Amino acid sequence: MSEYVGFDLAFRSLSLEAAAELRVSSIFEATGSGKGLALLFDALLRTEYAERIVLPSGFAYIKRKGTGLRVAMKMSTGNAKAATSFAGVAAQTTLGMATTNYKIEGVALSEQVIGALLDIPISGQLSEQTFRGIQVALSERLPEYLESNEIRLGEYSEPASVDLDRPGERARSINYAMSMIARRTSLTATLANLPPTISRETVLVTYARFTGSVDTGSKRRPSPTDAEAANLWLSTGSLGT
Amino acid sequence: MAGEFPIDPSLDELGRIRALVPLLGNAARPVPLPALDGAWDIDFDARNRSSEVSAKLGVSALLATESRVNRTTAIWDALVGKRAILDSPAPDTVIYETFWGIGLRILLTFRSTDVSLDASIAVVAATAEVHSLEVQYEIRSIGLGPRELAFILRRLPPLGRFDMTSYTVLETARQSLKESLMTGLNDPNAAQRLRPALIKMAATPFTNELDEAAEFRFTMQGIAAGLGLAATLARASGNAGAGAWKSIRPKSVDKIYRDLVGGEGPPDSKARTTARQWLNPS
């Protein structure tokens, strides 16, 4: 028991392509790169063991040892927004904005144990009823099981952060936004004339930090103080603080 | 000094902080846990970090739905343990303080443009409640086992949204955890459960996005002007005016320069044109 160093209640989202490549659940196998999202909710105890593995495709995962439940969901997004919580997935599915299939997988738990934790099928389509069933399994049955049984260890994989970062491209977009702020160009005008190589989102964030506004319809020009700060950054790399 | 960073407490077989090994190598060692004397330190703070840095530290999970550029992760700790501080750090020491603890870590990730970067957890909850802010919400524990996971699963809303209700439940759970964790640490085996959860570094291996962009701009200006690497680096030390380009790191400039020019220069006309276009995109 002392091997456990902690637990995770984590909600993750990744592309279907990444989920299939990383084999985080059989529900994503043969998914291809179709439209939609792969979602994982983990309630897992873990040990210190961790091994980072990078696949030839560039995707990476961490092999861990632990025990618990993983709810894997394949969400066909349609008009849905990117979900950031299990409740958000359920809400969009209930409203018909998305179709979501789920599969409950155990780590170091036998199918018999998983069956005993669930009042619902181990896999199927997410609905109000199955969402409630998953909630009961996680907040009532799993705690009972953890307290009254000897826990064994099994291996599982966790999607790892890969270096998707492109600092040069981001820096270029920040540089562009700063030069526009220095000229007191409104956010609306800047976005309307954005060169194709410049990231709209980065420009938006940079304006938000300097002018305090993310109103893309606003024609308000950056203040002289904001322009002065941007000019200082352009010529010295600092904001003078 | 570069500030305090929550980290993934996982250590590799050499006792190094796993998430920092790619950035710091052998310097990724926590300050060793001092002898325990029964007096405990508490860390119940919230710290906001860019999600990109938070992911690099192994603290927050992967969120692939949107670019990480516009994401902030609030790391809300409820930890008890022992703070270890180096008395006389060697000149090349990077990690000079480590908080060894057990407890709960709550992670809230949201769009940076929706909430002020230094917003408190209560403000994030209130914004989520009033303006339907989407918050990715995770709970992680450090040094806790099955009994505590069962406790948390029963009381907390792991599947729910983060709003004022879940904020209140979480805050109550955090406070009640403080007493039980401190009692638990009186167990003679307590030291075995403590994990490195927070570190302070003399020099951060991360830059903020503005400083990083400044390094690119500075280097591109040098290349566009036809300067060699040495002349570009010399610009940073003094003759551009007091305080100018003080945030740039020579090592980063060196890398950016070599990536574009292919050596120490001077740059050819193609590299100069690329640098000019970088500075003035059209």
- Mean pLDDT over each residue of chain A, to the nearest integer: 83
CB contact under 8 A, B245 and A85: no
Do A194 and A187 form a contact (C-beta atoms < 8 A)?
no
> Which pLDDT belongs to residue A34?
60
Which chain B residue has its CA at the smallest distance from A60's CA?
B62
CB contact under 8 A, B212 and A198: no
> Which pLDDT belongs to residue A165?
62
Residues B93, B86: Cα–Cα separation, whole Å: 9
**Residue A86 clears pLDDT 90, i.e. is over it:** no
> Which pLDDT belongs to residue B66?
44
The pTM assigned to this predicted structure is 0.77
In this predicted model, which residue has the larger pLDDT, B134 or A214? B134
Query: Residue B66: helix, strand or coil by DSSP?
Result: coil
**Residue A206 clears pLDDT 90, i.e. is over it:** no
Neighbours of A109 (CB within 10 A): 22
User: Of A58-72, A119-133, A203-217, which gets the smallest average pLDDT?
Assistant: A203-217
Output the six-digit token pair for A176. Answer: 């562009």
**What's the average model confidence in pLDDT over A150-162?**
83
> Which pLDDT belongs to residue A106?
92
Which chain B residues are Cβ-neighbours of A43 within 8 angstroms? 149, 153, 158
Helix, strand, coil percentages, rounded to 5, for chain A: 40, 25, 35
Could you report the predicted ipTM of this complex, rounded to two decimals? 0.72
**What's the average model confidence in pLDDT over A19-35?**
74
> Which pLDDT belongs to residue A70?
92
B176/chain A closest Cα distance in angstroms = 18
Which residues in chain B show pLDDT less than 70?
A: 1-2, 61-70, 157-159, 204-207, 237-243
Residue B26 CB burial class (10 angstroms; 0-12, 13-18, ≥19): exposed
Confidence of residue A50 (pLDDT cuts 50, 70, 90): confident
Do B27 and B94 form a contact (C-beta atoms < 8 A)?
yes
In this predicted model, which residue has the larger pLDDT, A72 or B56? A72
> Which pLDDT belongs to residue B192?
84
Residues A62, A53: Cα–Cα separation, whole Å: 6
Closest by CA to B149, choosing from A132, A104, A144, is: A144
**Residue A79 clears pLDDT 90, i.e. is over it:** no
